Amino acid sequence: MINYGKTFIRKYDITLFLTVIVLIALGIVMVYSTSAMVSIVKYGVSYHFVAREVVYVIISAFFIWFLMKNDYHIFKSFYKIILLGIIISMILLFVPHVGMSVGGSKRWIDFKFFSVEPSEFLKIFFIVYLANFLEKKRDMLNNNRYSLIFIAPLVFMGFLDILLLKEPNFGTASILFFMTIIMLFAGGVSILYLIITTIIGSVAAYFLIFTVTYRMNRILAFLHPFHDKTGIGFQIIQSMYAFARGGLYGVGLGNGKEKLFFLPTPYSDFIFSTVGEELGFIGVFIFISLYLILGYRGLKIAINAPDLFGTYLAYGITFVIVLSAFINIGVVLDFLPTKGLALPFISYGGSSLLAACIGIGILLNISSQSIKRKNI
């Protein structure tokens, strides 16, 4: 292990590790609760979806173990190859019989026995790219003569967002944009530059939303869901009913009604609605608290990282996981328009879970190399 002149804490962040274990365990429970009836109707057994989820968990656990044991600096050597593979995969989505369309979006490559969503892995490895860029260009970013070099990752991000919008995947494109702004801010880019960039991005988002019918409908459903109860407002109305029925203590695990063919695919994007219905406000509070703990531990790891690459990497991974979680929660509570984003560690799906666990494995490895600081 490299010696940076400080005393190293030669152990992993156990709080982060246990928090993720609890979230994954709760995810398995909620996937079974929300998918059992759908599974019986489609496949004749109640455990089809949860069995697949357990397989995803086993694979993801291996990646956490592997990455927490291997120095995070290894990504500097081959992240470009991984990013290139992800970009090629995103292009292949539009090749006939390769890309799989679900709900009008081509986000998955169909391998017959399983599917992969490249955009989930894009978020993690774009963070690696940004962390490496910010570390290498730190001095230039703080030099007025070369400060505009920050435009380079913005151009790359714009190219990736074009591919995401083509799927279409506006939610992930938005996360990529905000993640880039936050990491550039952490890297020392001028606030004025970032404000201008955010304004330009907001104008682009305005036109992307209000010139596309289905996106406009999502805004209308968000603002006035009861104006079209059986149409564009149906899903969010059912979600609100779920939380209303749950009250303080919930109706009991497995006893939810909204998952019974009222909420479309209740085991994926809207799984948190069932959490609210079956576990009530107390259950919602526990889930939100777990994500806040994850965020706190991730930021602490970033602050204590032994180098700038580790700091930026930890900031980015923590931000993307926690932001994705709170966007999903905001959507199901009708605080935000529908985005089509999974709830990390909870929603059914292998790509989302594996990508999040890759991020956690990296975080845990950074934590094992953390340096002791006072008052942290």
Q: How many CA atoms lie within 13 A of 263 on its CB side?
A: 28
pLDDT over threshold 50, residue 374: no
**What pLDDT is attached to residue 143?**
72
Tell me the average pLDDT of the chain: 90
pLDDT tens per residue, range 180-218: 999 999 998 989 999 999 999 999 999 988 888 888 888
Strand partners of residue 293: none
**What pLDDT is attached to residue 8?**
44
- Lay out the sheet containing 99-102: strands in order across: 99-102, 105-110, 115-116
The answer to whether the peptide bond before residue 168 is cis (omega within 30 degrees of 0) is: yes
**What pLDDT is attached to residue 25?**
97
Cα distance between residue 111 and residue 202, in whole Å: 37
pLDDT over threshold 80, residue 168: yes
What is the Rg, in whole angstroms, of the alpha carbon atoms belonging to the chain?
21
Confidence of residue 127 (pLDDT cuts 50, 70, 90): very high
Cα distance between residue 270 and residue 343, in whole Å: 8
Taking a C-beta distance cutoff of 8 angstroms, is the pair 291, 322 a contact? yes
Of 291, 298, 337, the residue nearest 315 (C-alpha): 298
Confidence of residue 376 (pLDDT cuts 50, 70, 90): very low
pTM: 0.92
Q: At what angle do helices 271-304 and 14-43 cross, to 10 degrees?
A: 160
pLDDT over threshold 60, residue 129: yes
Of 12-16, 21-25, 234-238, the least confident: 234-238
Of 91, 240, 88, the residue nearest 167 (C-alpha): 91
Of 163-167, 231-235, 309-313, the least confident: 231-235
**What pLDDT is attached to residue 372?**
55
pLDDT over threshold 80, residue 3: no
Confidence of residue 7 (pLDDT cuts 50, 70, 90): very low
Cα distance between residue 266 and residue 376, in whole Å: 40
pLDDT tens per residue, range 61-74: 999 999 999 999 99
Q: How do the domains of the chain map onto residue ranges? A: 14-368
